Structure 1
Amino acid sequence: MTNLETTLMDKLINAGVCEWHRYVDDTFVLFNSITCIDNILSILNNFHPSIKFTYKIEDGDKLECLDVLITRSTECQLFQTTIYRKPTYTGLLMNYHSYVPMQYKKSGIITMVNRALIICSTYTSLAAEFNEIRRIGLLNGYTSSFIDTIIGIKLRQYRKKNNDVIQSPQTGSDVKKRMYVEIPFIENATKEFRNKITHLCNKLRPDLDIQFFMKPPPAVQMLYQTKDPINKKMKSDVVYSIKCT
């Protein structure tokens, strides 16, 4: 795709392309109002037989691109953006009552909140997206207080970042070496073990910053063989050993 852009960009500009923004193989393109899109498509699809472009034009001043719904503002020369979900989206998250570490449950909500803060361009669309996150969370067993707490924390961090509140840099003596440790998840026993290791490390190795990752237990289906074993001779991608005299 980079080679295509480098080779064809001059032709595309002459044909009426004003803006070209690409993420992997999805592009968001602005044309002149008199541009013939079929001419642009012909230039792109004649570049290589394995590359075939399709296109979708805006409908009612709106166009979805990846996870973003882009709206052409009628009041000013700006684009407004909000979250776009495909019609096939089911709203399925990791259930709150699943036997997994709390970080796993938080991450599902945090991901949606961070995405909303980055994509939503107006407070109205951001508020609407927060309500949608609450609705999805409630359907998966999360409580309103749990979701609202995460929204409050991430919103405060976002505003703090945008207000250019700069933390004082650490001096050389304050910088700690980060170490990652994976521990099995056994709920309360894991928390107690983590706290003891952290307390012991603060005493013996204050220069370390230990980050714990809890590994959930394997799924029950992993403990039982649900299918009949397949004879090795019936499998594909097998290397045969033939004894030679």
Structure 2
Amino acid sequence: MPEPPSKSKRTRLLVCSRDTVFYKTAHHLTRTLAPLRKTADSFISDSTDFYSKLKNITDPDQIISYDVVDLFTNVPIDDTLQILRHRMTETPLETSLSTESNIALTLPPVSLLPTPPGATSTINRYTAYPWDPHSLTEIYMTHFEQQAFTTSPFQPICWYRKVDDTFVILKQDQDPTLLLQHLNQQHPRVQFTIEIEKDNQLPVLDVLVCRNSANRIQTSVYRKPTHTDQYIHFNPTHLLRTKTGIMSTLTKRAINFSSANLKPEIEHLRQIFTHLNNYPPNLVDKVITSHANIDTHFTSSNSLKILLRANGRNTTKPQEPKGVVYKIDCNCGQSYTGKTSRPINTRMKEHKTSTIKSDSKSAIPHHISKCPNHNINFDDVKILSNNLHDFTKRKLTEAVHIRLHKPSINRDQGYFIPFAYYELIKQ
């Protein structure tokens, strides 16, 4: 067993308990204790919940944040278990176990180091517990707040808390440091720090709370100064829906949290995805625009009435292949290999149109412009692979066929494939 770190070094041992002997016990306790976690008026489930509460605040006075120092490692276990026992007696839970049995499950089955003599038992870095620390921490902090505000020198206008972060509004004549001293006198291990708004701004969670000239609260997305804006790079072979999901989530967050001007945040997302994470600009614009414009429509699938006519026959047309890699031949013997997510006939029409218009951005019109007597056989397109609905898989398959067939009309090799795979592709 390694020696514990010295007091001068603040460390915390994080251990994943998935599939351990405690895992199912943790699930049981988390579900059982869930009703006791969300009873406080100050409870905030997430940033969206926090933003919805801010809408009800008008003419704020002092905006302050009190944060608990190292909350998880300083919650007093003995006090918390006593509070839990009392709460479980007051509020019946959906469990067949008795109160004492549930209490027993919360006790640490393994103590990696003994608690020093005379020290108070806490959720510390040397003890293994079979439950998510949020459960008992939330229960303790709910009790802590009730006791603290009972004897507080004054009552805040509002007090919202997400685990160890709080958002507080005080009247102009209320001293925030006086409330800080009062909070820090409640328990020697639970100590708060204070952050006061600066330049009419205060970050809380990932929301930047601002006070405008009319003394109204406005919000925007907040990123810490150390945030790198690096997400999943587009080149690695993650699923396309994972990459678009990241963009969708961040766009929705921008829409939800930007109460004043959404445009700067949307432009920031475009920049970081296209320039920093190498996402195709057209894909970024498509995903962001689909959310930012809130242009939603609904379609229904074919009903039985549409599918069947009076003669009882199914009249639906056979679907054209989608998500394909295809090959088009020229009468000169050269060929072009491409890909599309849409019906193949739609893509062929686009090729024909670009050829007629002599669009130099496309490889086929470029070939015809150099050889005007050549004819492209658009009506005899060959499907090399189909049902490739995943964007990355479709790009990889196209790149493989380009290396196999070596189509001379293509102007690039498509998706990058390491040279080491060439021999495997030939086989």
Same fold by TM-score greater than 0.5 = yes
Give 2:288's match in structure 1, choosing from 119, 131, 151. 151
Are 2:263 and 1:127 aligned?
yes
* Contact 1:67/1:83, CA 8 A, preserved across alignment: yes
Are 2:286 and 1:91 aligned?
no
Structure 1: distance between partners of 2:266 and 2:389: 33
CA apart distance, 1:30 = 0.4
Which of the two has higher C-alpha Rg?
2
> Corresponding residue for 2:189?
50
Structure 2: distance between partners of 1:107 and 1:129: 17
Unaligned runs of 5+ in 1: 169-187, 196-245
Structure 2: distance between partners of 1:78 and 1:167: 41
- Aligned pairs (5 A) from 1:20-169: 20-75=159-214, 77-122=215-260, 124=261, 126-138=262-274, 139-157=276-294
Identity of aligned residues (%): 30
Amino acid of the residue matched to residue 282 of structure 2?
A: S
Structure 2: distance between partners of 1:48 and 1:106: 47
* Contact 2:149/2:155, CA 8 A, preserved across alignment: no
CA apart distance, 1:8 = 2.1
Higher relative contact order (CA 8 A, sep 6+): 2
Number of residue pairs matched by the alignment: 166
More strand by share: 1
* Contact 1:16/1:35, CA 8 A, preserved across alignment: no
Relative to structure 1, the CA distance from residue 91 to residue 18 in structure 2 (aligned partners, 3 Å threshold; closer, same or farther) is same
How high is the TM-score relative to the length of structure 2? 0.36
Relative to structure 1, the CA distance from residue 194 to residue 93 in structure 2 (aligned partners, 3 Å threshold; closer, same or farther) is closer
Unaligned runs of 5+ in 2: 1-140, 301-340, 342-385, 391-427
Give the secondary structure class of the aligned counterpart of 1:60.
coil
RMSD: 2.8
Amino acid of the residue matched to residue 157 of structure 2?
A: C
Amino acid of the residue matched to residue 98 of structure 1?
A: P
Relative to structure 1, the CA distance from residue 147 to residue 38 in structure 2 (aligned partners, 3 Å threshold; closer, same or farther) is same
Structure 1: distance between partners of 2:281 and 2:150: 53
Structure 2: distance between partners of 1:47 and 1:101: 51
Give the secondary structure class of the aligned counterpart of 2:219.
strand
> Corresponding residue for 1:15?
154
Structure 2: distance between partners of 1:10 and 1:41: 15
Relative to structure 1, the CA distance from residue 143 to residue 11 in structure 2 (aligned partners, 3 Å threshold; closer, same or farther) is farther
CA apart distance, 1:16 = 4.6
- Aligned pairs (5 A) from 1:214-229: none
* Contact 1:16/1:32, CA 8 A, preserved across alignment: no
Relative to structure 1, the CA distance from residue 194 to residue 135 in structure 2 (aligned partners, 3 Å threshold; closer, same or farther) is closer
How high is the TM-score relative to the length of structure 1? 0.61
Relative to structure 1, the CA distance from residue 166 to residue 8 in structure 2 (aligned partners, 3 Å threshold; closer, same or farther) is farther
Runs of 4+ in 1 over 6 A off after TM superposition: 165-168
* Contact 1:91/1:136, CA 8 A, preserved across alignment: yes
CA apart distance, 1:119 = 0.5
